Amino acid sequence: MGFYKKILLLGKDGQVGWELQRALAPLGELTALNRSECDLANPDQIQEVLEKYEPEVIVNAAAYTAVDKAEEDTIGARRINADAVGELALYAREMGSLLVHYSTDYIFDGSKPEAYVEDDLTNPLSVYGKTKLEGEEKIRAALCRHLIFRTSWVYAARGGNFARTILRLAQERETLNVIDDQIGAPTSAELIADVTAHALRDVLSGRAPGGTYHLAAAGETSWYGYAKFVTDRARAQGQTLALAADGLKPIPATQYPLPAQRPQNSRLNTHLLERSFALKLPHWQHGVARVLDEWQTN
Ligand SMILES: NC(=O)C1=CN([C@@H]2O[C@H](COP(=O)(O)OP(=O)(O)OC[C@H]3O[C@@H](n4cnc5c(N)ncnc54)[C@H](OP(=O)(O)O)[C@@H]3O)[C@@H](O)[C@H]2O)C=CC1
Ligand SMILES: Cc1cn([C@H]2C[C@H](O)[C@@H](COP(=O)(O)OP(=O)(O)O[C@H]3O[C@@H](C)C(=O)[C@@H](O)[C@H]3O)O2)c(=O)[nH]c1=O
Ligand SMILES: [Mg+2]
């Protein structure tokens, strides 16, 4: 066994995976794999990869994240979000490795009036949320060393996300209807990756315990508030939008029917994470502004 930990990152090309490649690089001997190199749909390939690299830390950033598509593909979503995660957890249990994994606000039903804490009752409304919760539960049941970060409304400079979709639509349409009665905190993949690296170091050195933690940017907004922030800032940057000055319309979720039901309240209370790892989470606007600036200069 060498001085450096052997870290295996799965899902390296996703929003969070991409940022983890950067944030985990100085922490050990990092192997980062994409879907073609380790397909979570394929149990044999998972075992082959684990046996080949013998990771002391597994960071799983791969997931089935197509929320509406999952409604008609429960089997596919469950295989990636739950069964594959269970296989990683069993390996971690057997080998004494640490499994780092990500979950979502969508494991809650959103009926709580305050921000959710880690031990609040779960009750997912969607197949995506159900299968993500099953993944969490498989990890806890395996009794392996683990860190599970529940996050929300993830965006990144690279990859598909709400901010990018809204900017594209604002370039195409004069009016846009956006849901105003679902609230949460947009959280950047950059922040998630950096917090992961800090927390991972603390857990590996025994300074902090593993477990399940809520990880989201500070503050809160609705999807409408998020879209307003993005389009206002794009305009202030001098971008030409098709969207009229009063073209962004707040609507209730009932007027925007989708296959999957989303929670009304996606707010995550992050006090446990901040206390456990001595971290302060920045306001969501800070990260969104940064990504918009990055897009602007490209
Ligand atoms: N996005 C969000 O808003 C939120 C995400 N999360 C959680 O955070 C984590 C990271 O999400 P994020 O980075 O945003 O997701 P992305 O959708 O950006 O990335 C997911 C990655 O998983 C890969 N993947 C999908 N299926 C497989 C498979 N069968 N085998 C291997 N890899 C696969 C995708 O590959 P490919 O590119 O080939 O499709 C993609 O690179 C996930 O656990 C997600 O559930 C939590 C809250 C909010
Ligand atoms: C594009 C668009 C979306 N919406 C609404 C639909 C939805 O309720 C909300 C966000 O749309 P999205 O498609 O980004 O939503 P969604 O894919 O559900 O986003 C979720 O992804 C998964 C992976 C998570 O874990 C969650 O935290 C969350 O980020 O905005 C509008 O109201 N108007 C619009 O023009
Ligand atoms: Mg989506």
Mean pLDDT of 16-27: 97
Catalytic residues: 128
Spacing, Cα 258 to ligand 2 middle (Å): 10
Q: Give the mean pLDDT of 57-63.
A: 98
Assess if residue 252 is contained within a domain. no
- Which of 95, 105, 158, 92 is closest to 294 using CA atoms? 158
Residue of the CA atom closest to atom 16 of ligand 2: 67
Q: What is the pLDDT of residue 83?
A: 98
Residue 105 counted as domain residue: yes
What DSSP string runs through 131-192? HHHHHHHHHHHHT-EEEEEEE-SEE-SSS--HHHHHHHHHHH-S-EEEE-S-EE--EEHHHH
Domain total for the chain?
A: 1
Give 226-285 pLDDT, tens digit per residue.
Answer: 999 999 999 999 999 999 999 999 999 999 999 999 999 999 999 999 999 999 999 999
Q: Candidates 71, 161, 162: which one to mutate for ligand 2, based on the most atoms within 8 Å of Cβ?
A: 162
CA of 170 relative to ligand 2 center, distance in Å: 16
In a domain, 192, yes or no: yes
Query: Which atom of ligand 2 has the smallest separation from the CA of 161?
Result: 14
Structural domain for 50, as ranges: 5-161+186-219+267-283
Q: Give residue 297's pLDDT.
A: 64
Task: Tell me the per-residue pLDDT of 106-145, one tens digit each, with 9 for 90 and over.
Answer: 999 999 999 999 999 999 999 999 999 999 999 999 999 9
The HSE-up count of residue 87 (CA atoms within 13 Å, CB side) is 19
Look up residue 29 and give its DSSP letter: E
162 CA distance to ligand 2 middle (Å): 6
CATH number where 13 lies: 3.40.50.720
ipTM of the complex: 0.98
**What's the predicted TM-score (pTM) here?**
0.97
Tell me whether residue 261 is in a domain. Answer: no
Of the bound ligands, which one is closest to the alpha carbon of residue 149? 1
**Number of the ligand closest to the Cα of 63:** 1
- Evaluate whether residue 154 is within a structural domain: yes
The CB of 170 under 6 Å from ligand 2? The reply is no
Question: Does some domain include residue 110?
Answer: yes
Which run of H or E residues covers position 30? strand 28-33
pLDDT at 4: 85
The pLDDT of 170-197, averaged and rounded, is 98
Q: Are 233 and 163 in contact (CB under 8 A)?
A: no
Digit-coded pLDDT (tens) for 203-230: 999 999 999 999 999 999 999 999 999 9
Q: Is residue 293 part of a domain?
A: no
